[in-house]
Structures are given as structure tokens and as C-alpha cells.
């Protein structure tokens, strides 16, 4: 290998170290109170007891306002269920309307409503009862068909 190429490689290697050090020096230190973990919240579709819900990490830093959160929920929910006017309201499972992101609590479950919908107080997320019922029937039918063979 020619000496000139080797010297170039060494210089470029040193320059990467210098750039890395400059970047590390220029990184702004973030206060510890800003390093909050996002709240993991499950959202259900209003009136749909068979919808399992979607878990989304929510933080004030990410969304800023409840309107931005509802906009993001609209884009997520339109792939899963029908929301003709998008998400226009967020309610707790007891029916209390959420007006600020700070009102959302870690691990809680909320219901999203479209425009003109009223909150429907049903048991959201209780689909496991139906799944267990049908899985037991399916197991029973498989055992019967195995005995016949």
C-alpha cells in the first residue's frame, strides 16, 4: 500500500475522532425532569366491545396538545375500525371527557369517539370471555373428530 494512501487513512480516522468529540461536546444536557417515560395507554373504539384496543405511548413532549394526540389516534384507528369523522373525543371508561394530555393516567384505558357520537358505557376489552367460550367449543369438536377417526 502506498505511503500517501496510508497517511490519508490515518488523517481521516483522526478527523472522525475529532468530529465525534465535537458532537459530544455540543450535545445539550437535558434536565432529569425532562427525561420522563411516556405513559402507556390503551384506547378502545366507542361502542365496539370486540375491539381489543390499541396501546400507545403518550407524553406531553411528543404530542403537546390533546388535538395532536387525537390527530395521531385518527390515523391509527382508521386502519383498524370505521371512524367517519376521525377521533373527536377521548373519554375515560367511566365516561369522563379528557381535555388535556396531563389528565391521562399511566396504565389506564380510554375510549375514543367520533364526531356526534355519545359515550357508550359497555365493558370494553372483555373479549377473552367470548374467545375462551369458542376455543372450548373448538377443542371439544376436535376431540370428537379425533375419536371418530
Span 78-106, mean pLDDT? 87
**Based on the structure, what is the number of domains in the chain?**
1
Q: What is the pLDDT of residues 97-118, one digit of tens each?
A: 999 998 999 989 999 998 888 8
The better pLDDT of the pair 1, 123 is held by 123
Asked if residue 123 is part of any domain, the answer here is yes
Reported as a single tens digit per residue, the pLDDT across 137-149 is 555 555 555 665 5
- pTM summary value: 0.61
Burial of 60 (0-12, 13-18, 19+ CB in 10 A): middle
Residue (of 92, 111, 110) closest to 41 by Cα position: 110
Whole-number Å distance between alpha carbons of 118 and 23: 52
What mean pLDDT value characterizes the chain?
A: 75
CA distances from 6 to 1, 2, 3, 10, 22 (A): 7, 7, 5, 6, 25
pLDDT more than 70, % of the chain: 60
Confidence check: pLDDT of 49 > 80? yes
Residue 91 lies in a domain: yes
> Quick check: is 101 in a domain?
yes
Q: 20 lies in a domain?
A: no
CATH code of the domain containing 54: 3.10.20.230
Asked, for residue 21, whether it belongs to a domain, the answer is no
Q: What percent of the chain has pLDDT over 90?
A: 23
Cβ pair 90, 97 in contact under 8 A: yes
Could you list the residue range(s) of the whole structural domain that residue 117 is in?
36-127
Q: What nine digits make up the cell of 72?
A: 395521531
Amino acid at each position: 500500500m502506498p505511503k500517501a494512501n496510508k497517511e490519508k487513512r490515518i488523517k481521516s480516522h483522526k478527523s472522525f475522532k475529532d468530529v465525534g468529540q465535537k458532537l459530544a461536546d455540543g450535545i445539550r444536557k437535558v434536565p432529569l425532569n425532562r427525561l420522563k417515560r411516556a405513559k402507556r395507554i390503551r384506547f378502545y373504539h366507542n361502542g365496539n366491545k370486540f375491539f381489543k384496543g390499541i396501546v400507545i405511548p403518550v407524553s406531553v413532549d411528543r404530542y403537546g396538545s390533546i388535538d395532536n394526540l387525537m390527530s395521531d389516534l385518527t390515523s391509527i384507528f382508521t386502519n383498524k375500525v370505521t371512524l367517519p369523522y376521525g377521533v373527536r373525543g377521548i373519554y375515560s371508561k367511566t365516561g369522563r371527557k379528557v381535555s388535556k394530555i396531563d389528565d391521562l393516567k399511566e396504565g389506564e384505558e380510554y375510549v375514543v369517539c367520533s364526531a356526534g357520537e355519545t359515550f357508550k358505557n359497555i365493558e370494553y376489552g372483555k373479549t377473552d370471555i367470548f374467545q375462551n367460550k369458542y376455543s372450548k367449543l373448538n377443542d371439544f369438536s376436535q376431540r370428537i373428530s379425533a375419536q371418530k377417526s
